[in-house]
Structure formats: C-alpha cells, structure tokens
Amino acid sequence: MAQRIDVKDLNIYYSDFRAVADIEMAVEPRSVTAFIGPSGCGKSTFLRTLNRMHEVIPGAHVQGTVAMDGVDLYGADVDPVAVRRQVGMVFQRPNPFPTMSIADNVLAGVRLNNKRISKGDAQDMVEQSLKGANLWNEVKDRLDRPGSGLSGGQQQRLCIARAIAVKPQVLLMDEPCSALDPISTLAIEDLIAELKSEYTIVIVTHNMQQAARVSDRTAFFNLAGTGQPGRLIEIDDTATIFSAPREQATEDYISGRFG
C-alpha cells in the first residue's frame, strides 16, 4: 500500500518566479516525514507538487522528477487525476463539502467520480474510513447530518477519512492541525501514528514540537531572503535533526533563534 517517493532536481515555479529550487530527497514508505521551516520557504508548495495539485494554480509549473516507486509522476503519459487518486491530501483548514452529509463526504471520492457502489459496500467504506480516522464512535448516529455541523477537529478527521476512503498510497498533510485546538491536535497526531503503518505520510507543520512528536524523518527548508527561492537545507532522522543537525541554520531555527 505504501510507496517511496524520490525527488530529483526539482524546481517549482509560479509563472516566472522560482519558488523552490533544487530539491533532492527521498520519502521513505510507511513512515512520517515532516517538513519544517519559516513561512514562505516553499514547504507547502513542494508538498503540493507531490500530488500534482501545484499545477492547478494558473501559471504554476515544475521542472525535475518526482518518482513514486520509480515512476515519474510528471511523465508525459501520466494523468494528474490518477496521481491524485494515489496520493491523497489533507488541507490546512478542514473543508468538508457543505452540501453533503457526513457519510456522503466520506464517499465523495466515489460519488463525485460517478462510480456506482452498492449500498452495502458504501456502508462498509464509510464505517472503515471513519474508524480509520478515529471518528466513527462520535458520528455513527448521525451519518446523514451535514458534515459542516461537526467541530473543527471532527471536520478535519472527516477530511482524513475522506482522503483514506479512496485508498491512496501516500497521504499528504498541509499543516493539518494549525486551525485546531490542542485536544483535537492530539487526536490527529494519534491518528497519524496509527496511519503510518499503512501509508507513507508527509506532513507540513509550523509546530516543531509536533514534528518531533509525530515524524520519523524531518526536512528543514529555508530561504535566503524575500524574492529568493526556498531550498531544502537538510533532511535526516527526526532525532538527529533535533539533537545534532549538520547545518547551523537548522540549529538556529529549531532552537528558536529565528523564524
């Protein structure tokens, strides 16, 4: 179910502006990789290139290769829609579909694609996905209620359930807890720890404690100044990054001297 991702010589552009430069890294399967770094350094931009959501923005494009298990996601014959089915995404702000019930939100990947699914299969899918997102017990009695009626933390777990319902290989999370309170954050972090046995998880976070708590490997991004592209400074085991980073910039950042 989980795949490794190898990124080589990746440059990411918004029209003419190079936002991220020369990324080279490997994302290990069945583990959590955290991206940290100051605002504007391109963490989220890079994350969005991993499932080709970057190019949704007009004028945005990339150079280089992102290979999942050896297959270049940016190859000429690769369909971005198919990539997104294999690489799911959870956004910063919970965004359940306001016109759908909780159950329909979980089934969105199926329903929106006009695929037919039997009632029994649909029920199984809803139950398994919601259980996978630790939300089942809280919502099992109100599956036909609107998803937007849930609390923020529940909505975010609903979005995770929606993402894992399409059975992706990789799960990208773009600051999934930044709009949530500490209790909901804890629930999501526990969930990430459970999910990593099945999925390759990449998480962008502004919270260094969170990176230290949930991730196995941590990548530090930085930019030289405004107008300069963001770069990957270093990537290593989380323990190493937080105890003995190779680069001075990394140490300055995690010890709170800037950023």
Sites of contact with other proteins (CB under 8 A): 51, 53, 56, 58, 81-86, 88-89, 91, 93, 95-99, 101, 108-109, 111-114, 144-146, 148-149, 159, 162-163, 166
Residue (84 or 231) nearer to other proteins, CB: 84
Residue 171: closest CA among 121, 112, 214, 113: 214
CB of 238 to other proteins, least distance (A): 26
Inter-helix orientation angle 119-132/152-165, to 10°: 120
Residue (138 or 252) nearer to other proteins, CB: 138
CB of 143 to other proteins, least distance (A): 11
Residue (67 or 179) nearer to other proteins, CB: 179
Q: Which amino acid is at 220?
A: F
CA torsion, ordered 175, 176, 179, 185, to nearest 10 deg: -120
Q: Which residues, 6+ apart, have CB-to-CB distance to 75 below 8 Å? A: none
Residue (38 or 149) nearer to other proteins, CB: 149
| SS3 call for 37 | coil
CB of 242 to other proteins, least distance (A): 30
In the numeric block, the tokens 């956004």 are attached to 91
CB of 93 to other proteins, least distance (A): 6
